[in-house]
Chains A and B, each alone.
Chain A
Amino acid sequence: MEIKYYQYFQLFSLLLALICRKRLNSFSLGIMIPILILDNLTEILGSNHLSVFHTRGNYFVYNIYFILSTPLFFLLFASMLDGTPRDKRRLLGSGVILETFLLINYFFIQGQTEFDTFSAQLICLACIILSCLVLTRLAVRKDDESGLLHDPVFWINAVLLLFNLVSLIVLGMHKFIVENKLEIANLNLYRAIMPAANAILYSGYSYAFLLCQLQTRK
């Protein structure tokens, strides 16, 4: 079984999330555990597709990941935004529309074997907008003595925002990068950037989980 270096960050964050699960629940971040399980499973299957599925391409694994992870992320943002029931309904309604598009794209537009760049871009955009909303709301509402840097929700959204800004370009241009063999230091641009972005993302998650463990919600 092949495990790439950024997957260790993923596994570590999952392990931390499981250890801190009680604290995560008190911060309404319990949904992070299924998200991380799905992330880890996707990466393991994506890296070992040849031995597991006996297929040459692994794009279908990531396409299914987009479909499965989107509802989980919308639930995560709904709990982090902590809005009125009306806000939650609006957010989940947007999630349903996005999910419908992902399914249509998966079955009818870009297909199952091709990498669904439209889906990836839409998810990245949604994540950027929602994490900006959560961060802004956090900055406006939080007036206790501990600063933003001590808030796990801040770290989760900060790394999500930065990761999705990078992903928006790299995943959106995935097909172009592959077809034109765009490389940096003899490494495919996608393979050069995304592992590092993933490592930063999961390090941020891990730090947020540690913060959850170290403090109680006020």
Chain B
Amino acid sequence: MPASNPQIVTTILGAIIVLVFFGVLFLGMLRYYNYRRRQAAREKREMQAIFDQQLTQARLEIQEQTFTYLAEEIHDNVGQLLSLAKIQLSSFKEEETIDFPLLHEARENVGRSLQELRDLAKGMHTGHIRAFNIRQALDDEVQRITRTGTIAISVTSEGEEYRIKDDTQLILFRIIQECLQNCLKHAAASNINIGFTWFPGQLRIRVRDDGKGFDADRTLAQPTGLGLHNILNRARLTGGSGVIQSRPGEGTVVTVQVPFE
């Protein structure tokens, strides 16, 4: 059938071209899919690196704050008590009769110093953030701040509490610390509420103060608002999000929402 040969040849060639086209298309699609996959993996690795870096920074900041707190406590509290005990003990002279009430008072001062040092040593333990959950670490922090008597801080919790990753806890703790520091330094607030709301798979932390407030949008748009940007960046690094709401004269609300497994 020579007359139909060209048609058959064309049909066969057409079929081959179509098949090869689909083959090449399949290879192209696989390559594109793999490219997207590798890009996602690279972004994940970069995020992890930033997260690790932030985690290290958070640890260093906590360490630095702990040292500052220790130095202040030793100087202002333990140092004072021991100085007093030394003065009291110096007043004793060998030839004079012993003033037992004074001796008793000196002994009490040394005992209180010892107790203070024990408490400090407990707080200095590097694992104390990990050993307790974020609520316990926060309670210590709140106690430390409220001891000054200038500000009232309340911590509330709603819903069933879950265990979240240590690294995430540390970052969240640093976020709350940053918020508290901002309140103490700039807000002139008299009340702060830290609210934990536990949802299934998600934790919302809200730090609310009744201070003088500020224009949040404007401050966030400026490069000087580094502390606020830090709060938002750290919230993002935990896989969550953060919102800062504030207006002059209306206090400030910082809301951080993070997912957990």
Interface 9-residue window, one of B4-12, B109-117, B192-200: B4-12
Q: A143 and B38 in contact (CB under 8 A), knowing A161-B27, A166-B16, A166-B20?
A: yes
Q: Is B49 an interface residue (CB 8 A)?
A: no
Provide the A170-210 mask, 1 if CB < 8 A to any CB of B, else 0: 10010001001111100001000100000000000000000
A182 and B31 within 8 A (CB):
no
The answer on a CB contact under 8 Å between A145 and B38 is yes
Chain B residues lying within 8 Å of A158, measured Cβ to Cβ, are 27
A148 and B19 contact, CB distance less than 8 A:
no
> Are B12 and A165 interface neighbours, CB within 8 A?
no
Give bound CA distance, A168 to B20, whole Å: 11
- B23 contacts partner chain A, Cβ-Cβ < 8 Å: yes
Q: Which residue of B lies closest to A162 (CB)?
A: B23
Q: Is the CB of B20 within 8 A of A181?
A: no
Q: Which of B8, B9, B20, B35 contacts A165 (CB 8 A)?
A: B20
- What is the total number of residues of chain B having a CB less than 8 Å from a CB of chain A? 25
Distance from B5 Cβ to chain A, minimum over Cβ atoms (Å) = 6
Q: Which residues of B contact A145 (CB under 8 A)?
A: 38, 42
Chain A contact residues: over half helix, strand or loop, or mixed? Answer: helix
State which of B2, B19, B26, B34 has its C-beta within 8 Å of the C-beta of A169. Answer: B19
When the two chains form their complex, are residues A162 and B35 in contact, meaning their CB atoms are under 8 A apart? no
For residue A130, CB closer than 8 A to chain B, the reply is no
Q: Is the CB of A135 within 8 A of B30?
A: yes
**Min CB distance, B114 to chain A, in Å?**
57
Residues of chain B contacted by A161 (CB below 8 angstroms): 23, 26-27
By the criterion CB–CB under 8 Å, are A189 and B19 in contact? no
Give the complex CA separation of A32 and B164 in angstroms: 51
The 5 closest A-B pairs by CB, nearest first: A139-B30, A143-B41, A139-B34, A165-B19, A165-B23
Q: Which B residues have a C-beta under 8 Å from some C-beta of A?
A: 1-2, 5, 8-9, 12-13, 15-16, 19-20, 22-24, 26-27, 30-31, 33-35, 37-38, 41-42
- Name 8 extra pairs, CB < 8 A, besides A145-B38, A161-B27, A169-B19: A140-B33, A142-B38, A143-B37, A165-B20, A180-B1, A181-B2, A183-B9, A189-B12
